[in-house]
Amino acid sequence: MTDIELSHYGSEDALPTHLRWQISSFIRQWWNDPHTDQVNAPIMNPDWKPVFFVLTQGLAIVAHAAVAAKNVTHADQKYRVYGLCSVFTYRAFQGRGLGQRVVAAASDYIDSQADADIGLLFTRRELVGFYEGAGWVPMDRMIVMIGEPAAQSPDYPMMRFVSARAKADRPNFEHAEFFFGASKW
């Protein structure tokens, strides 16, 4: 069996073509993203400056996580929000800690960004424990609003509070309506 290696790519342009197509194909198959019918579209909005973490075995991806960033205003305060997104592990490789490994690498990256205030991810309730293991905090009472006009997101939000200011402002997120923007990660 070939060793599984972790790689980090600082932009979509830095991704080798074979990895870009594998990531894009997985997303198109499993998530209802706006670009599912646009095969040559970017994997993520380039304005979000996405960064990619991939675990590979040879030329094949076995697990992936991306990080995106944007500014969000909440309670009249501007925050730099880094998102953990497009996390997946191919079924044949699940249960081996590979998803935890790629999420830990991406989470460490978020924590290391000098301008990061908050980390944010959207998931399903049954995956909360998985992300808690990497230091993500469930936001049970936060209502995330997305779109124009805004509507409540059906996804479950989790956060990590990175900057001292965000840690102090945590109560402003825990019991609040949070408008994320026109679309989620």
Q: Residue 102 sits in a domain of what CATH number?
A: 3.40.630.30
CB 57 within 8 A of CB 90: no
Q: Whole domain around residue 162: which residue ranges?
A: 4-181
Token code pair at residue 77: 């305060």
The model's pTM: 0.92
When pLDDT is cut at 50, 70 and 90, the band that residue 86 belongs to is very high
Domain count, the chain: 1
Instruction: Judge whether residue 144 has pLDDT over 70.
Output: yes
CA-based torsion, 43, 115, 113, 154: positive or negative: negative
- Across the strands, what pairs with 10? none
